[in-house]
Structure 1
Amino acid sequence: MPRPPAPPSGGPPPPGRRHRLRARWADRHALPRFGYWLVSRGTVVLALCTALYLLNGLLIGWENAYDVMAGITSPSDVRPRWCAWPLALTGWAVIPAIIGAAAGYVITEQIQAHHARELTDVLAELRRLAEHPGPPPSSGDSA
């Protein structure tokens, strides 16, 4: 038996899941600079670091992977070395660079938010406030 037609609605149908995801991905440009980087390119960098850590955890053991990444153990002390060296370089250079960039961005944003006004603007406002006002308006009726 055929299905009866749906009654007409007052507007367009609600957007589907795919449309909502595309709209959210397009809205990433409205994020602050660090948030945009973290969503667009930072996820790739962090995913690569995570994949490298997981690979090393499976091959050399989780404790050794952590020790190599933190610089506690030399990558030449574990086997296989071919995967420990990139992990050591990641722990030595990439992770601190990401943390430093995040800290630098947050500090820069705070400084810009509290940035002092230009000296000429401050002096102009002080001069305007220092001017003597005219005589006060009369309070009597002039009728």
Structure 2
Amino acid sequence: MAYLHRGDCSFLLQDFYVLEHADNFMMHLIVTDVDAWWRHVEAKGIASKSGELVGISEGGAMIGCESGMKVGEKGSLRLSDLSSALPFVVRAHEGEAIHVEFHFAKAQAASLQEWLNRHIPTTSALAS
């Protein structure tokens, strides 16, 4: 465990990972000047680390972005109205897009399948 302190901020950091906790963890940050904080976030490029979902399946996704992520690097994908992030490993680059393979537990697989059923039309739905 490590105690990190800078200015008026401090927190404890430990090597601890439980999927159920990580999927539901939120951090509350209080700042005295929201506008100054947002300028800091934008200057660091934190707010722009997102991409466009080009394609998705139960096994992975193609994400259009200039991520700078390398093949083999791990990350996570957040989808609107899906309660947890989907952990992935980058498998390939294609132009300004990355192909990722999901690595998650059965519960997340079931949640993703439900999400896919709600958001991606099936072949039979397209035929009617």
TM-score class, shorter-chain normalisation, is under 0.3
TM-score by length of 1: 0.20
If the length of structure 2 is used for normalisation, what is the TM-score? Answer: 0.22
Higher RCO (CA-CA < 8 Å; seq separation 6+): 2
Bigger helix share: 1
